[in-house]
Structures are given as structure tokens and as C-alpha cells.
Structure 1
Amino acid sequence: MTRKIRLGAFLPGGGQHVASWRHPDQPADGAVSFEFHKRLAQTAERGLFDAYFLADNLAIGFGSAREGGNARVAGFEPVTLFSALAPFTTHLGFIATASTTYEEPYTTARKFASLDLISSGRAGWNVVTTTGDATAQNFNRETQLPHAERYKRAAEHVAVVKALWDSFEDDAFLRDKESGVFFDPAKLHEIDHRGPHFKVRGPLNVSRSPQGHPVIVQAGQSEDGRGLAAETAEVIFTAHQHIETAREFYRDIKSRSRGLGRNPDHILVMPGVSPFIGRTRAEAQEKYDRLTALIVEEDGIGLLNGLTGGTLDLSGYDLDGPLPPAPPTEGMKSRQALIRQIADENNFSIRQLYQWVASARGHYTIVGTPDDIADMLQDWFENEAADGFNILPPWLPTGLEDFVELVIPELQRRGLFRTAYEGRTLRENLGLPFPVNRFAAQSRLQAAE
């Protein structure tokens, strides 16, 4: 089968751009409007997107910054929202974020297995380690765990969750009313996990779904993040400003996964792209300028504070001067480095920097026509920089509708994107394999011996 671009849609109801809620087209209460989220999901499905993706914070603001004017300050918990949206769609996947630092594996496994059943096999779990002291202070800690420790905990957390998802074999449930046999006890398994961070006996009290396991998604770019992604992820969201760095990341992840005995084709690398789309370049630029003009100064500063790890106090600095050095952080090390790279490469002032990252928080921003957008996606896709993309419309619903109505047809015309869904589950549409139940596989191996 010809390789096709995979597409995720990052659609926070409050908008992606820090000032998007102030745009005339964006509902000011979109973050807490179920009807608005339903409209977004149905639009994404009309555009044949693979999945609707939502990040999540466990504290007010982004990192340890409080963007006072940002509509993303309060919104829905993603798994709850996606469980409600699933019945209004038939093919669209739902990738929700959950923290390995502040959740127990059993809880994570249970809620994502439930979402997977409710959606008939369309769930994905975005694995995050969660940064920020503000979050730690909501969970019985004063400061966040060190970066390396968070990733060690995450690796064990994911392993436990995947084992729990195998608690029931695929054919465990007989539900035979005549005999009274509901399930075969021989096909129910405890995992009896005992590790440095978790002790979990199991089994999980939710059965497997039509896709076996929810799809595992990860977004780390640091050395620890790359290691976790290569070992566990099936989809990787990543942020790059240049095709050269995207290609280095892509090749590194594929090489690492191969070294771990995994098939690199079963790991999809999907950089983030925030497109401002116009029928002409002048129209696209006008859209960018209009939204940029709506940024509240305090929110731009707060955004930079969060993206640089919450350790950079910009009060008293000239906003038209350069970005000062940021102290080391135990937060998002790779994003902190990326923000510094953007500032240095473009010789941005503080104001110019927050204006540029306001739309995508370090992901690639492109301002242009449908052909311009398609050219960029095709270039990265065909040159070992991406298997697909996570699209971050700057404001909603217009930014998403522009992409569906203007860019999708151009990608289809070039033979780069589907014209119909290939399957019903998220795995089928992403071209990912069905995960074999480990206990069933062991039984077959023992029987063969």
C-alpha cells in the first residue's frame, strides 16, 4: 500500500494561539463548551483526520506561568470529554493526555481501556511526565520530581499499563446464557508487578477493545524522552523549526527503535505544524497579523516563562531587547532549548519571540497558501522528517475549517492523503499492528513446546 500522510488535529476548545479566544470567529467560552468540541470533532472527521489530540495540564496556566488572559486556563479533562464525543463520530481517533508522574498505572489503564471500548477501538494515550512545581503542589509535593526520575517512573508506568491491558485475553468472554459461563477464568491473568516505583497485582477489571490496546503516544525530545519514545511509543509528537533537525530526530528514533528490536515502520513521527492559511499569501499574512495584534503583553511574557521552564523572570526587562539566559530547569528541557534556538536564530526581541511562539509554542508556524502548506508537508514527509503531522490551527473553528477545505483537497490531489478511512479503529487507520496478548502468546508457545 502506498505510504500516506497521517494527520492529528490538536484542538483545544479555547484555541491554540495565546490570544485566539479574542478573535471574532472563536467562541470566548469554547474551552468549556461541549457543543463547540463536538463541532470540532465532526469537522476533523469530515477532513479524514486520524485523531483529535488534546494536551492536558494539572495546574492553572502553562508550566508555572499564569497566562491570565488565556482561554486555556480552565477546561475539560480529556478522557471525560472524549468519552462524550465518541458517539458523535465513527472513525476519528481520540488521543488524550495522562500523567505518569501523578497517576497510578491501574487508574490510567482502566480509564483508557474504558475510552477504547466506548469508542469501539479509537483511543490513544499521550504519555507525559508532567512538569512544573505548581502541578507538584497539587499532588502532595512542593517541587517537581527531577527530570531523569520522572522518565524512569514513566517507563515503568507504561510497562505496567500495557501488562494490565492484557489481563483478559481477546476471547476470554463467552457470555453463554444457556450454560451460565460468562468468561473463561483460564484467560484472565494477574500481572503481579513489583518494581522500583509500583507494586500492582492486577488483573484489570476492563476487557480488551477491538484494537487490543489504546495507541501509545509520546512527545519527549530530550535524551530521556527519546529513549522512552523509542522503547514504548507508537506515535511521537515532536517540535522542530527546520527540516534538518526534524530529519535528525526522525532517523534517531527509527534507529533506536530498530536497536530495541522494534519495527521502525510501527513508530509514526508526527511534528507539529501551525498553519495560517490564505487563498493568497497576503491574505494569510493578514490573518497572522490580526491574531498577533490581539496578544496581551502579560500573557506573552507568561507564555515565555512557562516555555522556558518557569524559572525566567522577565519583569524589568525591555521587551524590545534580547531574551536573557534562562536558569536550568527540571521541567521541559528540550522545549527550553528550542525556545532559545528560535530567539537566537531569528535575533528576536522578547516581544518578537512571544509573538512568534504564541501560535504554536515552539512548533513550526507557516503562513501561506494551500500550495505553500502542502509543499512544506510533502517535503518533510518525502525526505525522512515525518510520517505525518499534528496540525495546530491557530484559532478555531476557522483555522481547522481552512485546513479541511483548502489543504486536504490539495494533499489528496497529490496522492499524499486518504480519500476515505481505511478502517474503523485508530490502529487500522494509522496502519499500526494489532498487539498480541502476551499471555495468549505465552500459552501458544508453551503448547508448541
Structure 2
Amino acid sequence: MSAPRKIALAVLVQPNGNHLAAWLAPGAQPDAGTDIAWWQRMAQIAESGKLDLFFIADTPTVRTDNMRIWSHAPVFMNQLEPLTMLSAVAGATSRIGLGATASTSFNEPYNIARAFTSLDHISQGRAAWNVVTSANDFAAKNYGHAKLAPHAERYERAEEFVEVVKQLWDCWEPDAFIYDREAKLTFDPAKFHIVGHEGKHFRVNGGLNLAPAPQGHPVLIQAGASDTGRELAAKTAELVFGTSATIEGAVAFYRDLKGRMAKYGRPPDALKILGGITVIVADTQEEAEARNLEYQELLHPAVGVMRLSQDLETDLSDLPLDAPVPRDRIPTTSNHHQAYFAEIVGLIGEGLTLRQVALRYNRSKATFCGTPAQVADVMQAWAEAGACDGFMVTFPVMPACLQDFVDKVVPELQRRGMFREEYAGPTLRDHLGLSRPENRHLAARATKAAE
């Protein structure tokens, strides 16, 4: 009998938890989003469970429409800028990876290259960048645009953006900074390579004023579910967040994405896919399900409908809550989150009422409510079916649900031989089993020498 498949575990963190009503849960901390001690405490809990990655999602905007409704659910509101916050979290932890979202639509490659290299130095090799193109027009308006650029154009820019960032990350050879006191030389000029990039979206002629990251490159994350997004992930990503709520959908996504990598000269194990799941664990399944219902009942109905409207890209607020959504109110295409759009359309297709759709919609994350053994059973089934290499776990309420997972589920996974008992090394690449990228200039020199 073969050994159980080892999985990776990451946690996606938002203030008080990922449920839109988490701030209303008993014991919630109103100012968690701006309290660095809260973020550090969550990371320390996750690190005590030997989790791979502490991840922060982000959007560079405030939702300026329907603010009365969004005031009931302050998602992405009054929350610290993630790279600033993770720099402080790095000092309170020593092993767990630290990842954050940053948009290719509203940044410049140099800024991203420098910021994530800095985080990698500060954390001694634990940084990860989630490459996103942004997915709401509120962000576009914050940067002087009426709406987002078309989906294909955003991904075209993103592909070039990542390439420029990687060139900047490689502009110094690993041993360029020598600090030779006798020669009074801080770096070897021969080991610096000017980035001369002329592309459709970017023109760069310079270099990064920072030594290479301890990991070579911070780990690249991507979560696009569209065909264009999968191509970008197959070409560039090292960690991908899956978007399927069912094991069948996850297996199909896994096979499709891994199958695209060969044409880019990449082996399948150069990319890890984490299924997105929400976990509520308790001593009995009934208790876990009851907690889930309690969280759902805290949600203001208008918030649920507003979230559906946002991801479906059409206003549903005029419809009755306890009647099915008319089919003629469903748009034919999506320009934002295509996976979320498809999930909503599927729920509407089941004939559910608007209220039921709002309560069940979970942004393509499976919700597992049960005992530690039951949760581990499901995770093991997904891993053994080839649905994922691990999980990006969200918790409705934090720290309670995270602490329960670390105290109850992690030991069960360890008992089954599915999860580490100690970190393999100091860097995020060590945790995930990802190789260090070879500096392109060293690789070119080695190829030329071998000819």
C-alpha cells in the first residue's frame, strides 16, 4: 500500500473571519482589520499548525455604490494594506509563508518587483505574490477609468507584467553583492544586467535596486478560472487556488491546468493546486452544521443579494427574496469573476429562491461541516482523487474556527500521514516542494558554455 499523499495547507484571512457577518459573531473584535496584534496572532495560530501559507486577499478600492448595504458587511473595509501588514507579521513568525494579492491592472512591474522582494528579505524567504487582474469596476474608477479593461486585454497586460517582474528579479546575479572591504567594493558590476524591455504595455530600461530575493523569486500565485487565466497559470504560476465547489469539477480543473504546462516546458510538479474550502469543525456533525446556520442567519439579506448582483454583474435588488430569479435577468457573459458567475447561474438553474441562492452562494468554495475525522475524510478523498495538491482554507469566524482546525483537524491529518509534523525548511518553497528558479543570466551562461 502506497504512503498517503502529503497535502499543502494555506489559510485565507480576513478580519474576524471570511463570513460576511463574521463581525457580528460573539467575541468578534471590531477593529481587527487595523490591529496588527490581531493579524500577528492569527498567523501565529496558523504557524503552530505548521500551515504552509498565511494569505491576504485584497482589492484596491472602496465600493462607492450602495454603501448603505455594504455598511452591513465591511468586507475589505478598514483593513491594513497587505504588504505593510505582512512585513509586521513576518517579525512575529518564523516559518509560515506570507502571501498577498496585488493587481497587474493598477500597478507598475517595478513597484511589485521591489515590494515583494523586500517582503522576501524581511521574512527570510517566505513571500508570495498573488497575480490578479482585478475584477470590479470600483477599482477601475479609483485609478481614473470608467470601468475595467476587457478580460482578454487585462490578461494580456498581466502576462507581460509578470515577465517584466521576473526580469527585474533576475537583473542581479545571486552573488552580485560581495561587500569586499579590501577592494572597497559593495557589488560586482559585471553581475548586474540591465532590463531592456519594449512591449505593448510596458517600457523598462533599468533594474531593481535590491539584491535578489532569498527564494530567488517570491512564489507566484494565480487564481484565474477562465481559459485565459488557466493559460497564464500554466505558463507562470507556481501555486494556483482552485475554484471548484465539487470534487468532479476540481478533478477536471486539475487535469486541464496541469495538462497545459508541457507546452511551456514545465513539469506538472512545478505548480501546486489548492482547492478552495470553508471548514467548520466540531465534536459532532450536528454541532458543526448548527454553527454554520448561526453564521448564515447573522447575514443581512440585502448583503447577500448585493454580493450576488456584484458577481453576476446585474442588479437583483428589485426582485422578491422568496421567489426564483427569472432566467431573463441573467446576463449571457461575464467580464469579472467567471467562475463565480458560473456558480450563481448554476444555483439559479436549480430553481432556488433569491434568498436561498444568497445563502448558498459561497464563491466556489466547498463548505465542510463535521468532526475532525469527517473533515479529514473529505480532504483525503479530494487529494486521492487527484482534485488538488492541498487546500486554501477559509474560516467563517476567526480565531475560533482556525484554532479548532489547528487543534483538531491538523493532528488527524498528521496521524494519517497526510500532513507534516515539522516544517521541512525555512522558506515557502521548502514547504511547498518548489525548486528555486535559476537566474536567467546564469542559465544562459551555462547553456553557452555547454555548446
TM-score (norm 2): 0.95
Deviations 1:169-227 (A, max 9, x none): 11111101122011110111112011111011121111112211000000000111111
What secondary structure is seen at the aligned counterpart in 2 of 1:336? helix
Counterparts of 1:379 and 1:6, CA distance in 2? 14
Q: Residue type of the partner of 1:340?
A: V
* 1:81 is aligned to 2:85: yes
Give 2:411's aligned residue. Answer: 409
Counterparts of 1:154 and 1:39, CA distance in 2? 34
Deviations 1:342-369 (A, max 9, x none): 3434x43211122123xx4221112111
Deviation at 1:318, TM superposition (A): 1.1
Counterparts of 2:28 and 2:85, CA distance in 1? 19
Deviation at 1:131, TM superposition (A): 1.6
Give 2:108's aligned residue. Answer: 104
Give 2:200's aligned residue. Answer: 196
Counterparts of 1:24 and 1:205, CA distance in 2? 47
Deviation at 1:443, TM superposition (A): 1.9
Give 1:158's aligned residue. Answer: 162
Deviations 1:400-423 (A, max 9, x none): 001101110110011000000001
Counterparts of 2:185 and 2:104, CA distance in 1? 37
Counterparts of 1:64 and 1:436, CA distance in 2? 48
Deviation at 1:2, TM superposition (A): 7.0
* 1:45 is aligned to 2:47: yes
Deviation at 1:339, TM superposition (A): 2.0
Counterparts of 1:321 and 1:68, CA distance in 2? 25
Distance 1:430 1:63, change over 3 A: farther
* 1:70 is aligned to 2:73: yes
* 1:230 is aligned to 2:234: yes
What secondary structure is seen at the aligned counterpart in 1 of 2:101? strand
Deviations 1:104-130 (A, max 9, x none): 111111101110111101000000000
Counterparts of 1:394 and 1:157, CA distance in 2? 34
Counterparts of 2:291 and 2:213, CA distance in 1? 43
Deviation at 1:24, TM superposition (A): 0.6
Q: Percent identity?
A: 42
> Could you tell me whether the CA contact under 8 Å between 1:14 and 1:71 is conserved in 2?
no
Q: Residue type of the partner of 1:29?
A: D
> Could you tell me whether the CA contact under 8 Å between 2:125 and 2:213 is conserved in 1?
yes
Counterparts of 1:239 and 1:25, CA distance in 2? 31
* 1:128 is aligned to 2:145: no
Counterparts of 2:107 and 2:405, CA distance in 1? 35
Counterparts of 1:343 and 1:280, CA distance in 2? 31
Give 2:250's aligned residue. Answer: 246
Unpaired runs of 5+ residues, structure 2, are none
* 1:293 is aligned to 2:327: no
2:145 paired residue among 136, 141, 144 = 141
Counterparts of 1:58 and 1:18, CA distance in 2? 19
Give 2:334's aligned residue. Answer: 329
Q: Name the count of aligned residue pairs.
A: 444
Deviations 1:222-270 (A, max 9, x none): 1111111111100000221211110000001111012321010111010
Give 1:56's aligned residue. Answer: 58
Deviates more, 1:288-297 or 1:361-370: 361-370
Give 2:31's aligned residue. Answer: 29
Deviates more, 1:62-71 or 1:164-173: 62-71
Give 1:371's aligned residue. Answer: 373
- CA RMSD between the two structures: 1.7
* 1:313 is aligned to 2:335: no
Counterparts of 1:35 and 1:277, CA distance in 2? 25
> Could you tell me whether the CA contact under 8 Å between 2:64 and 2:138 is conserved in 1?
no
> Could you tell me whether the CA contact under 8 Å between 1:50 and 1:429 is conserved in 2?
yes
Counterparts of 1:2 and 1:234, CA distance in 2? 23
1:385 paired residue among 380, 384, 387 = 387
2:286 paired residue among 282, 287, 293 = 282
TM-score (norm 1): 0.96
Unpaired runs of 5+ residues, structure 1, are none
What secondary structure is seen at the aligned counterpart in 2 of 1:193? strand
Distance 1:162 1:2, change over 3 A: farther
Counterparts of 1:49 and 1:35, CA distance in 2? 19
Give 2:180's aligned residue. Answer: 176
